[in-house]
Structure 1
C-alpha cells in the first residue's frame, strides 16, 4: 500500500494572519499542494500567495458545509494529477480554510470517504489566533472557539501589536 499523503488544515478567524503564515511557510517549501477556500465567488488569497506550488481555489462557500463535496473532488484530482505527472510532485497538502470554517467539517471527508482515507491522512489542524482581537473574537464569534477546540496546535499572531497583558490573558 502506498504511503498516505499528509494533509495540514490551516484555520483561524477572519484576519488572524493565516495567509501571512502560509506565505512564510511556502517560501521555505515547494513540495506542497495548496487548497485555498474562500467564502466569496471570487477568491483573492491565491493571488496573495506568491509561490510556485500547485494551488486549487475552492470559492463560493465554506468547505465545512456549503462546498464540502468539492474538497473530495479536489483531493482526488490533485492525487491523480500528481500520479500522472501533470503537476509537480508534492509530499503534503495544505488546506487554508475560510475565516468562518468549522475545521471538524473540513477534516470529515478525509475520515469518511474510503478512497480519500486510503490516500490521505490529516496530519494536523493548525489554528491561528490573532493576539490583538483574540479575546473579543472568542466572545463574539462561536466559530473561533470551534477552531480553537479542533486545533492540534494554536499559533498566536500579531503578538508584537498586542498589549503584553492581553497576550498573557489569551495564552
Structure 2
C-alpha cells in the first residue's frame, strides 16, 4: 500500500498497465487527511492497459481516471496493489514495489509518481506499471513557476527520485 499527499488545488490523472502473467489489480482510494474514504475505484489488467472495473471515480472499462481538484481541502490517495492467485481466484496484496517521483522540468507544477510492482516470484518489478500525476491548478502553477518550491513540498534540486520505503515528502508505504 502507498499513500500520496493530494494537496488542495491539484488534479490527479491516474492510469496503468499490467504485464504480468496473472490478473493485476490496483485499488485507488481518495481519502480525507484522516484516512476516511471519500471515493474509490479498482483498475484491473492482464497483459494490457489496466481498466476500471468498479467504483465511483470513473466508468467501467475506462483506462484512466481524473480526480478533480478540491480547492478547499487537502486529501490523500491510497493505492493498494494486488494480483489474483490463479488457483484460488483470491486477490493477494503485493508488498514489493518501487516508486519513482518525477517533477517536470518544463512544468514544475506537474509531479508524477510511477509505481512498478514485483509479482510471480521473479526478481523484476514489471508486474504492473501504475502512474499517478498531480497537476496544480493555474493559480498554484503560476506561483510555483516563479519560485523554487514544488507544489507537493520542498523537494527541488532533483528531477526524479526512486524509493522503496516510506518517505516524509512523497508517497509512503505501509
Same fold (TM over 0.5): no
Q: Normalization by structure 2: what TM-score? A: 0.32
| Structure number having the greater helix percentage | 1
| Structure number having the greater strand percentage | 2
Q: RCO greater where, 1 or 2, for CA within 8 Å and sep 6 or more?
A: 1
Q: Normalization by structure 1: what TM-score? A: 0.33
